[in-house]
Structure 1
Amino acid sequence: MSEFLELEARDGVRMTWNVIPGTKQDAASCVVPVSAIYTPLNPNPAIPVLPYAPLRCRICRSILNPFSVADFGSKMWLCPFCFQRNHFPQQYSAISQSNLPTELYPECCTVEYMATAETGPVSPPVFLFVVVTCMIEEEIGYLKSALAQAVELLPDQSLVGFITFGTYVQVHELGFGLLPKSHVFKGTKEIKKDQILEQMGFLTGKTKPTTGGRIMAFIGGPSTEGPGSIISKPLSDPIRSHKDLDKGSAPLYNKAVKFYEEIGNQLVHQGHVLDLFACALDQVGVAEMKVAVERTGGIVVLAESFGHSVFKDSLRRIFQSSDSDLGGLSFKSGYQVRNDDIRGRVGVALIEEKLVQHRLRWFGHIQCRPPEMRVHSGRLKCADNVKRGRGRPNLTREESAKRDLRDWNITKELGMDRVAYLRSTAPRMSKFKASLDLVLPWRSYQHHDGQMRLRSTTISRRWVAGSGSVQELITGFDQEAAAAVMARLVSFKMEAEVDFDPVRWLDRALISLCSKFGDYQKEAPSSFSLSPRLSIFPQFIFNLRRSQFIQVFNNSPDETAYFRMMLNRENVANAVVKIQPSLISYSFQSGPEPVLLDVSAIAGDRILLLDSYFTVVIFHGITIAQWRKAGYQNQEGHEMFAQLLQAPQEEADSIIKERFPVPRLVVCDQYGSQARFLLAKLNPSVTYDSDSPPPPGGDMIFTDDASFQVFMEHLQRLAVQ
């Protein structure tokens, strides 16, 4: 899959099918939806930044791209989307085959524009810290220390606000050093927005309505007052669990979700992001606040304490990364997709819809043909003639562009249904030799230095149809992207559909896929085989069935909401690590090497390094642990053992250094209590009822779950029927 990785590194795009099925029947039998996973702010320093405005088609407003056809003689270019011929402006008068503008180079599928009229004026970034004070003194001390470090790392031109809340809400004015001043509001009293604006003097012109802002909320406990409360005040009342939510016995849940949904709508309307830092041993309401965080594209960090490295290092990394043009925060951003048949999206986004001149506009500017369009606003099933959206209709392009907020490295999934488009435009598509051109976001965002920028990505994929297309579809299958899409899709269905059985749904999808693309003789399971392009996909599905995205047992609603939010916002590589963790072995016999995610990988003289994204585990075999406790690594003549202990620690440090949020590091020994962090992720090929015991120094897993070998036997038997 090296070619897919190269495309992702360059443009931030991975597609499940890089050869598109051209008929409705072919698309349906492929099981895995035709989808594109796009990272809008893909950190690629090679992306050119152009100091002028983009050149757009005068009909569909698509941006000049490498797939446009240029006529150097007449100084005109052909739009690959609406086939409109457009004149090059005067500044392109010197264009020729040997003197191409940057946008037409084949390797420049992604470009960025700055200092343009349509991106808007330079504005300073705004940070509003909202801090809970109902915590023990030790936790407040940890939080004060972390915030002091964060403020020191803010860009110099930043505007900073500070709010604390407990029983009362205090809005502090930071311009008074010796004589602190704050506005105080009673937490139990409902106050209208206009009252707040008038009391604080915002109506006199002290606010910046067009400036992007980030509201960073630091929560150390559950809300017990007001419409956003998730639990009553008596300590005897238990906090809601997954079972309570399933049975509908959590009376405050729906009310709180509706409250935070309204908050999210207001934030989007104002152009602000809500970032959530939830640090407590118990739940704080992440499941309820999820809608507001996702709707604004905010950051979420979940930790046990404000003194934990997961919180402290993650907060520090946010502002340290703002030194980079592509790795830092962005503000007041939205994206616009130009394509003739976008089916839907599973991820974090807010859709605005507007029918103007027979074109449907999302996020202010997405052109489509309404009779052929299926509109989905966060839902996968919707009648063809139903339009769903959030917020106010009939917005101008400038108003709509302000409504969708994004931050760094949020990844979107766009699902495409090509059928109606290909049928209706086949004669015109013939001149492009059956290719698919898709402009993925023209994405405007406010850089941390205040400069508005616009990024455009254009990709092209060919499509095939007919009986001989199966092998071509296989060559274009990206099994890692497919695993990420299926994980997002099943997680969404678990939240949106009543009585949905995720394991059964995944099993049926995998059986159908293997029946379609497998090589076998009917009713002969032993003859079954899969192409290398699909051979790892069943293993991804096996681990997805056992992952925290599907299995909610032993996880709180807050943890489940956090895991799914992080799945929706990460790129393919990170999503795959969450679904199927990586396992590396360290031993005297060989250097570091990947091993199967199986209990058979455990040995007494081996160190294992597990990366499951949220947790990094260094696992010492029993013999290694005994030598370490005896202090052999500190004795002369045992330098090799000291190096063996140090190698996985260095690799773990490098993983932690590159990841956000910072993962939890667990160092454990075989048969120790924390060994469960590793054992829970391993394939149970050896259990307590296995026919043969584990080898000396090995281990077993006490579970009744089926192993991957049994899973594959059932899959082969059902696929060939």
Structure 2
Amino acid sequence: MSTYQEFIQQNEDCDGIRCSWNLWPSSRLEATRLVVPVSCLYTPLKERPDLPPVQYEPVLCSRANCKAVLNPLCQVDFRAKIWACNFCFQRNSFPPSYAGISEVNQPAELMPQFSTIEYIVQRGPPNPLIFLYVVDTCQEEEDLQALKESLQMSLSLLPPNALVGLITFGRMIQIHELSCEGMAKSFVFRGTKELMPKQIQEMLGLMKPATSGQQGKPLAPHDAAASCRFLQPVQAVDMNLTDLLGELQRDPWPVPQGKRPLRSTGIALSIAIGLLEGTFPNTGARVMLFTGGPPTQGPGMVVGDELKTPIRSWHDIQKDNAHHLKKATKYYEALANRAAVNGHSIDIYACALDQTGLLEMKCLSNLTGGHIVMGDSFNTSLFKQTFQRVFSKDYNGEFRMAFGGTLEVKTSRELKVSGAIGPCVSLNTKGPCVSDNEMGVGGTCQWKICSLTPATTLALYFEVVNQHNAPVPQGGRGAIQFVTQYQHSNTQRRIRVTTIARNWADAQSQIQHIESSFDQEASTVLMARLGVFKAESEEGPDVLRWLDRQLIRLFMFHLRRSPFLQVFNNSPDESSYYRHHFVRQDLTQSLIMIQPILYSYSFYGPPEPVLLDSSSILPDRILLMDTFFQLVIYHGETIAQWRKSGYQEMAEYENFKQLLQAPLDDAQEILQTRFPMPRYIDTEYGGSQARFLLSKVNPSQTHNNLYAWGQESGAPILTDDVSLQVFMDHLKKLAVSSSA
């Protein structure tokens, strides 16, 4: 390895790991001085076409409170057929099936290139994939029609043996029976009455009827599943369900003038979760909620039905004037936890011009690994293409989605795990490697991740517990093992194991080495995740003060202005949406979210990346800005005038036509692969949508310094926000003042 850069890249490609530090300080005291904790970004299911899974079970350490998996870092005595665990140093015998091993005939898990390895576990019957559609019918005709078409399309993308179910809701909730030929039959529930899971299961025939003096007993999951008329294989009900979706009507209840439709989202979700709990506990399942507005009645209600009462804003929340907020959030958190226990994930597809209650409902997806997709209408390509990408397939023709995952982290004795940030919930598993110092979701060494994709990335934080006066021996290495168990989309149970090690370094004598091992990109994302996690649970100003204290030591100007921490100009739902995606995307996408990428197109050479600064906005340039959520093509003043005059249509200005086309082609490439699909904005100098670009660039030229002598040319930004230069000057003052 010639450079750290190559080492970092190789580790990311091979193991899906990026560490904040690639040399670890050997004592607790030195680690706390580093500002950025020992931490890493881990992508458990990173796609590796060169990593075929092995068809046997992993070999585990025999010590009861260790159970680490055999890996290339273990010491092996091939003659005695014994291996020493590199976490607890227990000596273990190899199982009989390893009798033929030798130094020249090693199993894959001992080879250095298999620091990440995947096992197929042949236990128990295969479980089907389950997709339960929960559809809001209180929508405009055009929107509902577009949604029905998308749902019909999705049926053709599901595997024939996948189970599918349909619940529709407005004022009432209907669970549709799919097994009856020729006639539509459904169970109807009131949208205002909370039902216990047992009651739902009794009413749906998922429990043995109660006999005198005895309560009804749940059917065994196998019987319940067999007798469940509401979840059926796609191949059996494809025609039926397609017709049923085609015939769906808008909610029939009249909506008086000045009122919102009555939407019983809370009870619809409660019934969906109760149905899956009773039939398929601990099985891969997705509840897919499609909603066109906020819940307006029953438990989980976010706003009343009076249109004159607007849905809560950040201002209302700060003034404690959001009447339904706490109760609704508590209700949806209880539902999310019930789904998470059984490994069921909940997606929210919310398409409306106003808010739909994502702030209250976000925990449904955040805790279960589900998707959140937000748009203006179900009739836009943004929704249609994003929804289609949920069912995208990998190089083996299998879904890029996994279910019911658990992640366990094991560490060598000098380290403890402080917590994780990502789409996961704690399994409250205590152990010798659990730190008392919590960061993110802590107090455990195991987390449940109900749904994963190859891009799902978790941030994990560690604490060095080695004392300053007990040095680690020279050449010692700290190790971490990640064990992810999950249900593959082809219904196999799989275990993926990644084992990494980094050298310990004495910060007194080797500080330069530690500095050169610093991964700036990974650290930026890891600290930003901590900031976003705090922003979800603490007051806004407190989080910014925490961030400013970190900024003096660690520089992240654009994060401070990002929509993850600044709620100004964003609705509560939008903030929830941005934060949801930020805490699950991989490193590259996260960096784009923190500091958008800006490309410049001109006649003076090929496209080039330019500073995210107002000085880059020039009259004779076209800019392409990628913020992850938006793709903005901005035409400078001169270019916009030429375009209006139609120069691109004239044969002698072929080069201008090519210049206009270049950013469109580049944007198209991004639009075709990203999930969720970004909003595409084509604008120009003076255009109303130019605000998307102007709000992101550093305002180095504003109305306050517009006529300053010697300024670079560029577009002035009308803002009172401080520029990077002013921000830096203040930081310098703070950094050298005694109070800092």
TM-score, normalised to structure 2, is: 0.85
Aligned residue in 2 for 1:364 = none
Aligned residue in 1 for 2:675 = 660
CA contact (8 A) 2:49 2:395 kept: no
Shift of 1:554: 1.0
Distance 1:369 1:610 in 2: 44
Q: How does 1:564-579 map to 2 (within 5 A)?
A: 564-579=579-594
Aligned residue in 1 for 2:93 = 87
More displaced stretch, 85-94 vs 225-234: 85-94
Q: Identify which of 593, 603, 607 aligns with 1:588.
A: 603
The alignment partner of 1:637 has SS state of: helix
Residues 264/346 of structure 1: CA separation in 2 closer, same or farther (3 Å cut): same
Aligned residue in 1 for 2:715 = 699
Distance 2:584 2:570 in 1: 20
**In the alignment, does 2:451 pair up with 1:406?**
yes
Q: Identify which of 127, 131, 134 aligns with 1:127.
A: 131
Q: Identify which of 299, 318, 321 aligns with 1:246.
A: 318
The alignment partner of 1:46 has SS state of: coil
The alignment partner of 1:107 has SS state of: helix
Residues 454/326 of structure 1: CA separation in 2 closer, same or farther (3 Å cut): farther
Partner AA of 1:405 in structure 2: C
Identity among equivalent positions (%) equals: 43
CA contact (8 A) 2:401 2:451 kept: no
Residues 141/480 of structure 1: CA separation in 2 closer, same or farther (3 Å cut): same
CA contact (8 A) 1:435 1:461 kept: yes
The alignment partner of 2:612 has SS state of: coil
Q: Deviations over 1:388-444 (max 9, x none)?
A: 89xxxxxxxxxx99x641321322111101125x679x69x64x832110002x111
Aligned residue in 2 for 1:105 = 111
Residues 194/377 of structure 1: CA separation in 2 closer, same or farther (3 Å cut): farther
CA contact (8 A) 1:16 1:34 kept: yes
Partner AA of 2:374 in structure 1: L
Distance 1:315 1:462 in 2: 44
The alignment partner of 2:606 has SS state of: coil
CA contact (8 A) 2:83 2:94 kept: yes
Aligned residue in 2 for 1:153 = 157
Shift of 1:347: 2.5
Shift of 1:135: 0.9
Give me the CA root mean square deviation: 2.3
Shift of 1:81: 0.2
Q: How does 1:93-492 map to 2 (within 5 A)?
A: 93-117=99-123, 120-203=124-207, 204=219, 205-207=223-225, 208-321=280-393, 324=396, 328-339=400-411, 340=413, 341-354=416-429, 360=430, 367-368=431-432, 373-374=435-436, 376=438, 378=440, 404-408=449-453, 409-420=455-466, 430=473, 433-440=475-482, 442-492=483-533
Distance 2:323 2:703 in 1: 42
Distance 1:656 1:172 in 2: 36
Residues 466/473 of structure 1: CA separation in 2 closer, same or farther (3 Å cut): closer
**In the alignment, does 2:620 pair up with 1:605?**
yes
CA contact (8 A) 1:686 1:693 kept: no
Shift of 1:697: 8.1
CA contact (8 A) 1:43 1:327 kept: no
CA contact (8 A) 1:351 1:377 kept: no
CA contact (8 A) 2:41 2:522 kept: yes
The alignment partner of 1:338 has SS state of: strand
Aligned residue in 2 for 1:543 = 558
Partner AA of 2:544 in structure 1: V
Aligned residue in 1 for 2:543 = 502
Aligned residue in 2 for 1:397 = none
Partner AA of 1:157 in structure 2: N
Shift of 1:281: 0.8
Q: Identify which of 676, 694, 699 aligns with 1:684.
A: 699
Distance 1:716 1:235 in 2: 51
Shift of 1:695: 8.5
Shift of 1:500: 4.3
Residues 499/613 of structure 1: CA separation in 2 closer, same or farther (3 Å cut): closer
Shift of 1:195: 2.3
Partner AA of 1:78 in structure 2: A
Number of matched pairs? 658
The alignment partner of 1:263 has SS state of: helix
The alignment partner of 1:296 has SS state of: coil
The alignment partner of 2:495 has SS state of: strand
Distance 1:565 1:326 in 2: 26
Distance 2:399 2:22 in 1: 28
Distance 1:613 1:694 in 2: 35
Aligned residue in 2 for 1:13 = 17
Partner AA of 1:92 in structure 2: Y
The alignment partner of 2:112 has SS state of: coil
Distance 2:516 2:408 in 1: 30
Q: 5+ residue gaps in structure 2?
A: 208-218, 226-279
The alignment partner of 1:468 has SS state of: coil
CA contact (8 A) 1:322 1:329 kept: no
More displaced stretch, 551-560 vs 683-692: 683-692
Aligned residue in 2 for 1:70 = 76
CA contact (8 A) 1:494 1:500 kept: no
Aligned residue in 2 for 1:719 = 735
TM-score, normalised to structure 1, is: 0.87
CA contact (8 A) 2:194 2:299 kept: no
The alignment partner of 2:392 has SS state of: helix
Shift of 1:701: 0.6
CA contact (8 A) 1:376 1:388 kept: no
Shift of 1:246: 1.9
CA contact (8 A) 2:615 2:712 kept: no
Distance 2:627 2:661 in 1: 20
Partner AA of 2:516 in structure 1: T
CA contact (8 A) 1:172 1:181 kept: yes
Shift of 1:377: 8.2
Q: Deviations over 1:52-71 (max 9, x none)?
A: 11111111211111111122
Q: 5+ residue gaps in structure 1?
A: 355-359, 361-366, 381-386, 390-399, 514-537
